[in-house]
Amino acid sequence: MTGKNTAGARFTRRSFTLGAVGALSALALTACGGTSAPAAGTSAAASTSAAASVPATGTNLTMWVDAERAPALKSIAAKFKTEKGIDVKLVVKDFAAVRDDFITQAPTGKGPDILVGPHDWLGKLVQNGVVAPVQLGDKAASFTESSIKAMTYDGQTYGVPYSIENVALIRNTELAPEAKTTLDEVIAEGKKAVSAGDAKFPFLVGLDPKQADPYHLYPLQTSLGSQVFEQNDDGSYDSTKLALDTAGGKEFAQLLNDLGDKGEKVLNSNITGDIAKEKFLAGESPYFLSGPWNVPDIAAKGIKFAIDPLPTTGDKPAQPFIGVNGFFVSAKSTNALAANEFVVNYLSLEEAQDELFKVGGRPPALTASFDKAASDPVVKAYGEIGANGVPMPAVPAMDAVWADWGGTELNLIKGKEADPAAAWSKMASNIEKKIADN
């Protein structure tokens, strides 16, 4: 086109440069437009070649993990590769996005084969038909009972658990030398430390200024005999039977009111989790109701502490929610056999669970690993409290429960409800209505 000198070819250099810029954008466009497409191509290519070529080297498993857990899984993945010839690709994902990305991507066949996550995702994952049950068989007995219960949804086990986490009462032994059992005693002890001038807060628990925190406050509620849902005989929750509106629940509402802004000012909704931690680290309170995730910082700060059982508020045991982390297999995995082999027969190994404990510091779900980890008194204490706990409900209806539950707790703590029991009943009927609407 350049050799001819017709009137049509009136390219000035400038206009040509502009045209080139256009072409460049078009190039960028093609690259952008294609991003999702090549992913499809490669995964499809990988699975077809797996079928055709030597499987010992051709099969790949993809696993979504978060940055924290990825290093802990490297050695067990390497072992799997040498023994079975299957590569496990650990894809590091932003933890906050994993569940929803998995739900949207699994049906398209582009999701991973294996997923790491907490058990309370199960309701959503099952509802969307994206996870497959795993059969642990005789191995189930080698895990702590509560962890297997948590991984069970609608009578099926969906995951291999590896860690259990729950809250406990962390006590600064210099400010409060003796362990107490009831909340009243704990608060009295805390107030003693405050009036002696050693501390500023009798008792700390992190709350959300917008939503309070039903999770952290749950042991105080269960001790009064109030649960969120009724439990079936096998320990699973019946999401059609909300159990909040009971005498125990109303007592709990009154307790929040009494401990809140208009009462003893022990619970303070302005104290977020971060502030509570900061104050405890500064030695400003003898008690901190929190999980194992804050323990490393407390130890590093040089604070002398002990892990106490959760304080009781009534005559029932103070049961915390437990969160169980585990591995799930995608219902749409084209490598279901390899994925099951890895999840059931390898990730349940003692060495895998030991490694995960070393990185995360959470009590392992495998009894043999837990016994080893329990040489650490902190792990032992958290583990024993967790054994007494109840799994956080995994039913999808929990989305509706959290918002109202937290909102009402917040109002009670702030002393905004003249009649705490009535406010509590209203909350329960609101939640019931929302669950029934859907």
Partner 1 sequence: MLHPMVEIEEKPSAAPVRPGRERPGKKGHGPDSLGGILAKIILLGITDAVAAFVLFQLVLSGEWLIFVISLATTLVINWIYLRRGGLPAKYLAPGVIFLMIFQVFVMIFSTYIAFTNYGDGHNSTKSDAIASIQLSASERVPDSPQFATSVLEKNGSYFLLVTTPEGEARLGGAETPLETVTPSTTGPTGAATGVDGYTTLDFTALLANQQAITTLTVPLSDNPEDGSLKTADGSTSYVYTPKLKFDAAADTFTDTTTGVVYSDGGRGSFVAEDGTALNTGWKVNVGLDNFVRAFTDQNLQGPLLKVIAWTFTFAILSVATTFALGLFLAITFNRADLKGQKIYRILMILPYAFPAFLSGLVWSGLLNPEFGFINNALLGGAAIPWLTDPVLAKISVLVVNLWLGYPYMFLVCTGALQSLPEEVDEAARMDGAGVFKIFTAIKLPLLLVSLAPLLISSFAFNFNNFNVIYMLTGGGPRFDGTTFDIGSTDILITMVYKIAFGTGAGRDYGLASALAIIIFLIVAAVSALSFKKTKALEDLN
Site for partner 1 in 55-114 (CB under 8 A): 55-56, 59, 84-86, 100, 103-104, 107
Listed ranges 31-39, 161-169, 177-185, 291-299: which one lies at the site for partner 1 (CB under 8 A): 31-39
Convert residues 284-303 into a mask of x (bound to partner 1 by CB under 8 A) and - (unbound). --------------------
Q: How far is the CB of 69 from partner 1 (least distance, A)?
A: 23
- Report the C-alpha gap between 63 and 328 in whole angstroms: 10
Whether 135 contacts 329, CB under 8 Å: no
Q: Which is nearer to partner 1, 33 or 197 (CB)?
A: 33
Is 197 a residue that touches partner 1 (CB under 8 A)? no
Q: Name the segment binding partner 1 (CB under 8 A); options: 143-151, 207-215, 216-224, 357-365.
A: 207-215
Strands 321-330 and 159-165: antiparallel
Q: Contact region for partner 1 (CB under 8 A) — 46-54, 194-202, 283-291, 376-384? A: 46-54
Q: 382, 392, 363: which is closest to 214 by C-alpha? A: 392
Residue 243 binds partner 1 (CB under 8 A): no
Selected range binding partner 1 among 41-49, 71-79, 191-199, 313-321, rule: CB under 8 A = 41-49
Query: Phi/psi at 216 (nearest 5 deg)?
Result: -70, -30
Take residue 95 and report the two structure tokens written for it. Answer: 């933890």
Minimum separation from the CB atom of position 365 to partner 1 (A): 20
Nearer to partner 1, 165 or 213 (CB): 213
Other Cβ atoms closer than 10 A to 398:
20
Contacting range for partner 1; rule: CB under 8 A; set: 8-16, 190-198, 313-321, 373-381:
8-16
Smallest separation (angstroms) from partner 1 to the CB of 185? 26
- Size of the residue set binding partner 1 (CB under 8 A): 101
The nearest distance, CB 316 to partner 1, in angstroms, is 28
Nearer residue to partner 1 within complex by CB, 127 or 173: 127
Report helix, strand or coil for 244.
coil
Closest approach of Cβ 385 to partner 1, in Å?
Answer: 29
CB of 240 to partner 1, least distance (A): 9
* Residue placing its CB nearer to partner 1 in the complex, 34 or 177: 34
Choice between 124 and 362, CB closer to partner 1: 124
Task: In whole angstroms, give the CA distance from residue 270 to residue 206.
Answer: 9
Pairing relationship of beta strands 204-205 and 287-290 according to DSSP bridges: parallel
Task: Report phi then psi at 39, rounded to 5.
Answer: -60, -40
How far apart are the C-alpha atoms of 370 and 251, rounded to whole Å?
Answer: 36
Does 265 engage in binding with partner 1 (CB under 8 A)? Answer: no
Q: Are 34 and 84 in contact (CB under 8 A)?
A: no
Q: To the nearest whole angstrom, how small is the minimum distance from the Cβ of residue 37 to partner 1?
A: 5
Neighbours of 315 (CB within 10 A): 9
Q: Tell me how far, at minimum, the Cβ of 269 lies from partner 1, in Å.
A: 8
With beta carbons less than 8 A apart as the criterion, state whether 217 and 169 touch: no
Give the number of other Cβ atoms within 10 Å of residue 133's Cβ: 18
Answer for which of 397, 412, 413, 428 binds partner 1 (CB under 8 A) is 397
Of 36 and 75, the one with the shorter C-beta distance to partner 1 is 36
Tokens describing residue 137:
């068989």
Residues 119-158 within binding reach of partner 1 (CB under 8 A)? 124, 126-130, 132-135, 137-138, 154-156
Q: In angstroms, what is the C-alpha Rg of the chain?
A: 27
Task: Select from 221, 217, 278 the least CA-distant residue to 246.
Answer: 221
- For partner 1, give the closer residue by CB, 225 or 396: 396
Q: Does 233 bind partner 1 (CB under 8 A)?
A: no
Residues between 329 and 388 that touch partner 1 (CB under 8 A): 331-332, 334-338, 340-341, 344-345
Query: How far is it, in rounded angstroms, from Cα 238 to Cα 269?
Result: 31
Q: Which of 223, 268, 325, 353 binds partner 1 (CB under 8 A)?
A: 268
Pairing of strands 229-231, 156-157: unpaired
Encoded tokens for 149: 């219960």
Position among 74, 89, 200, 433 found at the interface with partner 1 (CB under 8 A)? 433
Q: Of 339, 220, 345, 387, which Cα lies nearest the Cα of 289? A: 220
Distance of CA 261 to the CA centre of its chain: 30
358 or 433: CB nearest partner 1: 433
